Amino acid sequence: MPLAKALELAQEYDLDLVEVAANARPPVCKLMDYGKFKYESAMKAREARKNQAHTVIKEMKLRPKIDPHDYDTKKGHVVRFLKQGDKVKITIMFRGREQSRPELGFRLLQRLADDVSDLGFVESNPKQDGRNMIMVLGPHKKKTEAMAEAREAQAARKAERQQGSASAEESAEEPAEA
């Protein structure tokens, strides 16, 4: 349709005439509310940024002669990090004579990897780096999946709390009627 007629039609419906494909022959235009279109595209971009995940490497430091309770505590932190979808760098620090026994550190790292094998996998095998031995664990599920799961769990807890407070209010009202 001619440009003048398209502009007249846009004015009649109180819309904007927006060129969609300039390189096409003839150029393609669309009648739309351009302000609303820009707002919706900005909201889509914002939502995409919100769901975007940043890869974070958390670090946990251990010693070869670690107490069983301390090991369980550190393992709990590693489990939490992997559940959140983060990578975990585990460092074993050797001091003094411990440096002559790297197999102790290697066994400790293997034990930790076996303990958390259901949540993560060994991304880089243990390797000696001066006084330290380093291993990296990666999560089985992606950060975005972990974030979505956490949001769902939080929504479920919130609904449960609201439901619990509603039933508490009902039970508080019953004695007043009797």
pLDDT, tens only, 155-168: 999 888 888 777 76
Euclidean distance between CA atoms 139 and 58, whole angstroms: 12
Length of the chain, please?
178
Instruction: Specify the higher pLDDT residue, 104 or 176.
Output: 104
CB 19 within 8 A of CB 27: yes
**Number of neighbouring beta carbons within 10 Å of residue 82:** 23
CB 133 within 8 A of CB 91: yes
Token digits for 86? 């983060």
For 39-63, what is the mean pLDDT? Answer: 86
Give backbone dihedrals phi and psi of 52, rounded to 5 degrees, phi first.
-75, 140
Residue 41 pLDDT:
92
- Residue labelled with tokens 């590693």: 78
Q: What percent of the chain has pLDDT over 70?
A: 93
Give backbone dihedrals phi and psi of 101, rounded to 5 degrees, phi first.
-125, 65
Assign 177 a pLDDT band (cuts: 50, 70, 90): low
Contacts for 135 with CB less than 8 Å, ≥ 6 apart: 89, 90, 109, 113, 122, 124, 125, 126, 127
Residue 175 pLDDT:
60
Q: In terms of DSSP bridges, do strands 120-129 and 132-139 run parallel, antiparallel, or are they unpaired?
A: antiparallel
Q: How far is CA 11 from CA 4, 6, 17, in A?
A: 11, 9, 9
Token digits for 143? 């950060």
Kindly report whether the global pTM for this prediction surpasses the value 0.85.
Answer: no
CB 86 within 8 A of CB 58: yes
Contacts for 81 with CB less than 8 Å, ≥ 6 apart: 58, 60, 87, 88
Residue 107 pLDDT:
93
For 24-49, what is the mean pLDDT? Answer: 89
**Domains detected in the chain:** 3-51 (3.10.20.80), 57-139 (3.30.110.10)
Residue 42 pLDDT:
94
Q: Does residue 46 surpass a pLDDT of 70?
A: yes
Q: What percent of the chain has pLDDT over 90?
A: 40
